[in-house]
Structure 1
Amino acid sequence: MESRRERQRAATVDEITRTARRILVEDGVAGVTLRAIAREMGMTAPGLYRYFGSHGELLRHLVAELFREITDELEKGMNALPNREIGPKFLTVGRVFREWCLAHPREFALLFGAPPPALDDEGPIDFADECGRQFAMTFMQLFLHLWEKHPFPVASDDELDPSLRAQLTRYRETVGIDLPLAVLQIFLNCWVRLEGVISMEVFGHLDFALDDAEPLFELTLRDLAEILHIPYTPRSR
């Protein structure tokens, strides 16, 4: 059972995190300084060091909270489906992910844009960290279930580019999942295309041509469904 002191500390950490996020939304990641957070909370900047050892540690905590939030949204989207087929789950996860990113562009930039200097000082955002790993495994587990139930033809390892083959071998060892290298290549290809089209929309890089990028996103989902040999169902409007 938590002591009163532990509950107070947890409440203060939660307030610091919420304050940091509010500043992130209003001013961008550059505005999320210990001094700015302390000013908002009526504290001194040195006082924050009782809760976070550095600016980078605070940002990492915020990153963890954001990954938890996205993961929860993805799981809620899947759990709301009337059936449990992999195809609808894949489409739903892609759509929910896009909706969250568009609704939270500053948070998206912190998670998927260039890491700010404070995070560089602490080391890169590591998807092996628990919250990032859980987020990534939402997509990986769907892919694994699909492969287990409906494996599709892939190239042999020997047919892959040697440099890519070596890198995919290291990646396979890192994630600890025994899959053919060509299957991992397809997974990475799908992820790059999914995050890529969302990133371009969030950062406004499609505005030169489109004022509504959802049809393009749906075309991307349809292409990915074809790669994965699952049925594509248009989103109901």
Structure 2
Amino acid sequence: MASTGTRGRRERLRAETTAEIKSVALELMASGGPGAITLRAIAREMGMTPNAIYGYFATRDDLVTTLINDVYTSLADAVDAAWDITPATHPADRVRAWAHAFRGWALVNPEGFRLIYGDPVPGYIAPEGGAAPDAAQRVCTALTGLAAAAWPHAERLYADSDFQWSDFDAGLLDKVRPAFPHLPPAGVALALRIWGHLHGLVSLEIYGHLHHQTASPEKLFHEELTHIVASLGIAPKG
């Protein structure tokens, strides 16, 4: 019977190997795209036999699901932390804090950003309910929270909106309506518009499409945030 110390070493070594497998998978994706993630390629990079790596992940899809869950959870933690430390009475500052946390996370984790928001992994079949349902809901809810925080100030600016609940995906509404029961359809549309502005610039930066256009992507992002805040009818404190 294995001693407690032996079991502890085995568990530690297994955790370290699992972490290395995931790290190598993202490195392969960075150099060869999503299709480069294969268990055989990872085993080759790590000097393992294919049979050995199957002891950690039974299939490539199991590995991809784990990666997506890890990456999405990391993003959710980052933006939630920015949200939590910003007072609810400062909606403009909350928008800025969330946006900067999102961009900062993406710049530190470009492969992770590409995995969850970029090109799909060829042939990957996500499990029922999605690869990272809890983390995805956290990000979606926080994003809608930006619109909800600004809505008392912005509502008058969107009085002519003709959005109805039927304009949105039922799964999206299942996530956001219980969290923000007083937010109307126009408020949900506003959340998606904010997301479009922020995600668009970050995607261009991560994929290198701004490289030849500007030496100051951070300044561009900051100015876009300034215009978003102005369009919401709110202003930063201080």
Q: TM-score, normalised by structure 1?
A: 0.77
The 1-side partners of 2:87 and 2:188 are apart by 29
> Mean alpha-carbon deviation: is it higher for 87-96 or for 70-79?
70-79
RMSD of aligned residue pairs (Cα, Å): 3.4
Specify which of 148, 152, 155 is matched with residue 152 of structure 1: 155
Q: 1:170 aligns to what?
A: 170
Q: 1:110 aligns to what?
A: 115
Question: Is the 2:144–2:188 contact (alpha carbons within 8 Å) kept by the matching residues of 1?
Answer: no
The 2-side partners of 1:227 and 1:123 are apart by 39
Question: Is the 1:169–1:181 contact (alpha carbons within 8 Å) kept by the matching residues of 2?
Answer: no
> How far did residue 227 of structure 1 move?
2.5
Alignment of 1:87-126 (within 5 A): 87-119=92-124, 121-122=125-126, 126=130
Q: TM-score, normalised by structure 2?
A: 0.77
Q: 1:132 aligns to what?
A: 136
Give the counterpart letter for 2:145 in structure 1.
Q
Per-residue CA deviations over 1:81-123 (Å, capped at 9, x if unaligned) read 589622212101111211222233222211211212133x337
Per-residue CA deviations over 1:52-90 (Å, capped at 9, x if unaligned) read 232122112111111122222223444555896222121
Q: 1:218 aligns to what?
A: 222
Change (3 A) 1:150 1:127: farther
Q: 1:68 aligns to what?
A: 73
Q: 1:142 aligns to what?
A: 146
Question: Is the 1:127–1:136 contact (alpha carbons within 8 Å) kept by the matching residues of 2?
Answer: no
Between the two proteins, the alignment pairs up a number of residues equal to 226
Q: Does 1:182 align with 2:186?
A: yes
Give the counterpart letter for 2:214 in structure 1.
L
The 2-side partners of 1:188 and 1:211 are apart by 28
Q: Does 1:195 align with 2:180?
A: no
The 1-side partners of 2:88 and 2:137 are apart by 26
Change (3 A) 1:83 1:187: closer
Change (3 A) 1:231 1:43: same
Give the counterpart letter for 1:93 in structure 2.
W
Specify which of 42, 50, 62 is matched with residue 47 of structure 2: 42
Change (3 A) 1:231 1:67: same
Change (3 A) 1:59 1:175: same
Q: 1:18 aligns to what?
A: 23
Q: 1:86 aligns to what?
A: 91
The 2-side partners of 1:217 and 1:124 are apart by 36
Structure 1 unaligned runs (5+)?
A: none
Give the counterpart letter for 2:189 in structure 1.
Q
Per-residue CA deviations over 1:5-62 (Å, capped at 9, x if unaligned) read 8945555433422332343345443332201222233332233333323212211211
Paired-residue identity, %: 27
Question: Is the 1:28–1:106 contact (alpha carbons within 8 Å) kept by the matching residues of 2?
Answer: no
Structure ranking higher on relative contact order (CA contacts 8 Å, 6+ apart):
2
